């Protein structure tokens, strides 16, 4: 809920102010993530990319790829589905509803669905459970 979102918002900022196109950054993250998953799948036979509690990750690399890289791709996927204005309206709604609380994933999902007026719960659910189908950014 935080690492991936922070990474994605940073990419949006860099797209707007640093001349680093969002599409380029997403493609790089996508390729890195796919390579990571492919290598581990070939080695272990199966890779768990579901979001989980901190103590359940095998190592720092797994934590970074699942939460930072894959989390960023989650928020890009939502952004790409709802559009920029609705994405930021959803973030504002999430902030207003959950500020000064310990927010839950379901609260975030509900805010994004309601504020964007699109059912993005399936996107969130797929990523949370490690069943996402990530497509390379084409913006």
Residue 107 lies inside a defined structural domain of this protein: yes
**Is 62 part of any domain?**
yes
Number of domains in the chain: 1
Is residue 30 a part of any domain in this protein? yes
Range of the structural domain that residue 89 is part of: 3-128
Tell whether 137 is covered by a domain.
no
Place of tokens 């699109």: 118
CATH number at residue 42: 1.10.390.10
pLDDT at 132: 67
135 is a domain residue: no
Low-confidence ranges of the chain (pLDDT < 70): 132-139
Distance CA(115)–CA(89), nearest Å, equals: 6
34 located within any domain: yes
> Which residue, 82, 65, 62, 50, is CA-closest to 7?
65
Q: How far apart are CA 76 and CA 134, in angstroms?
A: 10
């Amino acid at each position: 809920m935080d690492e991936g979102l922070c990474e994605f918002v940073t990419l949006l900022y860099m797209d707007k102010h640093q001349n680093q196109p969002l599409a380029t950054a997403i493609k790089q993250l996508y390729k890195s993530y796919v390579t990571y998953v492919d290598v581990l799948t070939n080695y272990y036979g199966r890779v768990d990319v579901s979001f989980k509690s901190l103590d359940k990750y095998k190592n720092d690399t797994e934590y970074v790829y699942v939460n930072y890289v894959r989390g960023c791709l989650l928020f890009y996927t939502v952004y790409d589905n709802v559009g920029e204005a609705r994405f930021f309206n959803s973030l504002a709604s999430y902030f207003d509803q959950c500020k000064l609380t310990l927010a839950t994933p379901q609260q975030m999902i509900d805010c994004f669905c309601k504020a964007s007026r699109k059912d993005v719960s399936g996107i969130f659910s797929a990523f949370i459970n490690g069943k996402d189908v990530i497509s390379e950014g084409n913006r």
